[in-house]
Amino acid sequence: MQYRTLGRTGIQVSPYALGTLMFATSIGNADPTDSARVLHKALDAGINFVDTADAYGDSEEIVGKALEGRRDDVVLATKFGRPTGQDPNHQGASRRWIVTAVEHSLRRLRTDHIDLYQLHRPDPATPVDETLAALTDLLHSGKVRAIGASGTPAAGIVEAQWAAARHGLTAFHTEQPVYSLLNRGIERELLPATQHYGMGTLVWGPLGQGLLTGRPHDQLRRAGLVRHLEDENRLAAAGKFAALAAEAGLPPTHLAMAFTIAHPGVTSALLGARTMAHLDDLLAGVDVTLSDDLLDRIDEIVPPGTDIGVLDQTFQPPALRRPDLRRRPLGDRAAA
């Protein structure tokens, strides 16, 4: 395993990281013991980067228990910010919630520190300097070793860097965006921004939410992964990538994973393995590298900087969700 430096932190991480959303018993694998075996197999294979979140059901508890005796071998990342209950203050990026959420995560993870603590989604209701001030204090306390964010637009990354410099705070060390053969939009502005600021980038969704696994199209439709016209467009592109992978003598999953970690701005890509079989398949491709010719062929199917469809899980700015934020009041509009 060839390790990479996580931004400017000096922390060495594997190019494949283990995402643990599927460890949650209510979402993925119903057997915590089996999830622990998957985690140990990943560690034995050289993966040292494990990512979870407080909003992933009981994933933090399962990860914490599984890491007993091996905690020092792992760069452990978790996230805060998404709702964890009905209380409106049990979410977001306010100082009040951050100092509470971190204690909950430390307890569930059975550890005295978190290596990378990340804001799960931007919180437009909270000034970024308040968020960074609370996270900087956690860094000084030793409870957190590095800080990051997820789903941040490029403009938000720049704003956070400026706020940190202006107020004498620690800036985000990392960003976690979606990136795959089907979703390359971050190549346009976000990756240039993270590279400019020396940030590490941990990408999620490298298998296109299952569309890039090579599964038959009818299976993907039955699984509910194809529901709209844009999903059909994604499916068509995925079929072209499957054909390209076969021509290159690669499983589609290996093509997809190798593509994500080939970009110089990407530090690690998250494996969302639910079972040992899933993990074994992905680990078999850890040393795959793609030729320039193959990368050119990929560019012909989905051009650089292009997304095919928008994922439900990605952050949407408030003005895209609320009509009142993009329409002047009737009395203020010019006469038609």
The string of DSSP letters for 37-73 reads HHHHHHHHTT--EEE--TTSTTHHHHHHHHTTTTGGG
User: Which residue is catalytic, options 56, 117, 179, 197?
Assistant: 56
Q: What is the dihedral of CA 185, 187, 193, 199, to 10 degrees?
A: 100
Residue 158 is encoded by which pair of tokens?
Answer: 């720049």
Is 179 an annotated catalytic residue? no
Q: Please, are residues 105 and 114 in contact by the beta-carbon 8 Å criterion?
A: yes
Q: Please, are residues 46 and 55 in contact by the beta-carbon 8 Å criterion?
A: no
Return the exposure string of 34-47: e unless at least 16 CB atoms fall within 10 Å of the residue's CB, then b: ebbbbbebbbebeb
Q: Which residues contact 60 (CB under 8 A, 6 or more apart)?
A: 52, 53, 54, 78, 105, 108, 109
Helix (H) or strand (E) holding 271: strand 268-271
Q: Mind telling me the catalytic residues? A: 56
